[in-house]
């Protein structure tokens, strides 16, 4: 009508995808019996109602699909909230020390639980050395007789004390370097890059030169903890997102086993997330304990 007064008329083919999905064959057969020829315009209340029913079914299907997608997204959103909260704590320094303390406890608990499960004191001792770079505070006899909780508490207490000693030692070793750069080149640089290595991987920490000098490397240690935590969280989170995409696709195959793909997705995603958290906790703690400025 191009805007002129009048009425609009819409044409829908019975071979349209919308109609074919929702019962157009029945209408087509009826029209054949009534003598209507192919290509002829049909105006009938039954056709209008059929279109309305088809549209309603499509809308219901689309709503169900959107609802299903939101349920999948909800799983990811809950995991994202946990990770982003930890990133925020590290990025702005809020509760980072508290998070590190929790990670030390969780790693200690994991080592104790796995050690008791295998019953191998040597494996237990090796994991302590590999992760915390310290001797086992638990004797072989105590390892056999004490519970997982007891072992966790002993290991956590020893690891916490050892961590503070290592941070103090790291500050003592770092300060002469910072002092030398500040006194000789302080007017040239505001921010400096300080490399830290755990013996395998090297990460560069950016820190304020003047602040590091005036705090006798307290600010450098804070930046060290912050950057290591952020880097390892981001690295593991990116890998986890790829795994979740793969899981989302593979879980659709559960339909052939007469299982709900969403239920399978939720169960498997929980296991993947738990494993990822355990892995990144261990990697962060291991680097913090081993990290030093290379000679």
Check whether residue 52 and residue 147 sit in a common domain.
no
Query: Quick one: 112 and 238 in the same domain?
Result: yes
- Shortest CA distance to 197 belongs to which of 293, 281, 102? 293
What is the model's pTM?
Answer: 0.77
3-state SS class at 207: strand
Q: Are residues 53 and 129 in the same domain?
A: no
What pLDDT digit, counting tens, does each position of 139-171 carry? Answer: 999 999 999 999 999 999 999 999 999 999 999
Look over the chain and give the mean of its residue pLDDT values, rounded to a whole number: 86
Residue 241 included in any domain: yes
Write out the H or E segment, with its range, that includes residue 208.
Answer: strand 202-208
Distance CA 25, CA 39 (A): 15
Claim to verify: residue 60 and residue 119 sit in the same structural domain: no
Domain-located, residue 172:
yes
Whether 47 and 181 share a structural domain: no
Q: Do 48 and 184 sit in the same domain of this protein?
A: no
Q: In three state form, how does the secondary structure of 21-66 look?
A: HCCHHHHHHHHHHCCCCCCCCCCCHHHHHHHHHHHHHHHHHHHHHH
Owning domain of residue 113: 96-290
* Same structural domain, 102 and 199: yes
Residue 245 has phi, psi (to 5 degrees) of -65, -45
pLDDT in tens, the chain (295 residues): 566 776 666 666 667 766 666 555 666 666 666 665 565 555 666 666 766 776 777 676 665 656 667 777 888 999 999 999 999 999 988 789 999 999 999 999 999 999 999 999 999 999 999 999 999 999 999 999 999 999 999 999 999 999 999 999 999 999 999 999 999 887 888 999 999 999 899 999 999 999 999 999 999 999 999 999 999 999 999 999 999 999 988 888 876 777 788 888 899 999 999 999 999 999 999 999 999 988 7
Region of 94 on the Ramachandran plot (φ > 0 left; ψ -120 to 50 alpha; else beta): beta
Residues 218 and 132 in one domain: yes
Q: How far apart are CA 155 and CA 146, in angstroms?
A: 12
Domain co-membership, 53 together with 165: no
On whether both 48 and 141 belong to a single domain, the answer is no
Q: Compute CA distances 69 → 65, 74, 193, 248, 288, whole Å.
A: 6, 9, 44, 11, 39
Into how many domains does the chain fold?
Answer: 2
Cα separation, 169 vs 159, in Å, equals 15
Question: What's the Rg (C-alpha) of the chain?
Answer: 32
- Give the number of other Cβ atoms within 10 Å of residue 177's Cβ: 15
Closest alpha carbon to 111 in 287, 286, 295 = 286
Both 144 and 57 in one domain: the answer is no
83 and 89 Cβ atoms separated by less than 8 Å: no
Residue 228, domain CATH:
1.10.3060.10
Q: What is the pLDDT of residues 106-126, one digit of tens each?
A: 999 999 999 999 999 999 999
Residue 88 lies in a domain: no
CB 191 within 8 A of CB 209: yes
The pLDDT tens digits of the residues spanning 214-237 come to 999 999 999 999 999 999 999 999
89: in domain: no
Residues 108 and 220 in one domain: yes
């Amino acid at each position: 009508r191009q805007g002129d007064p009048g009425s609009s008329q819409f044409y829908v083919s019975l071979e349209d995808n919308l109609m074919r999905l929702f019962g157009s064959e029945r209408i087509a057969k009826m029209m054949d019996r009534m003598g209507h020829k192919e290509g002829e315009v049909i105006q009938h209340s039954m056709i209008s109602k059929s279109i309305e029913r088809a549209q309603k079914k499509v809308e219901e299907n689309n709503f169900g699909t959107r609802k299903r997608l939101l349920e999948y997204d909800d799983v990811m959103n809950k995991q994202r909230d946990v990770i982003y909260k930890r990133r925020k704590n590290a990025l702005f320094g809020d509760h980072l020390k508290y998070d590190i303390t929790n990670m030390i406890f969780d790693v200690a608990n994991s080592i104790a639980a796995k050690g008791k499960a295998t019953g191998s004191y040597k494996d237990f001792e090796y994991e302590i050395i590999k992760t915390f770079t310290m001797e086992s505070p638990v004797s072989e006899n105590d390892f056999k007789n004490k519970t997982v909780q007891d072992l966790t508490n002993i290991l956590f207490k020893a690891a916490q004390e050892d961590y503070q000693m290592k941070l103090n030692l790291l500050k003592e070793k770092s300060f002469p370097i910072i002092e030398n750069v500040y006194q000789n080149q302080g007017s040239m640089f505001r921010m400096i890059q300080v490399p830290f290595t755990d013996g395998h991987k090297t990460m560069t920490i950016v820190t304020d030169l003047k602040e590091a000098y005036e705090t006798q490397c307290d600010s450098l240690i804070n930046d060290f903890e912050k950057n290591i935590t952020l880097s390892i969280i981001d690295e593991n989170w990116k890998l986890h997102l790829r795994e979740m995409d793969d899981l989302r696709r593979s879980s659709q195959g559960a339909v052939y086993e007469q299982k709900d793909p969403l239920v399978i997705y939720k169960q498997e995603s929980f296991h993947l997330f738990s494993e990822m958290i355990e892995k990144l906790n261990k990697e962060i703690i291991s680097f913090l304990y081993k990290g030093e400025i290379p000679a």
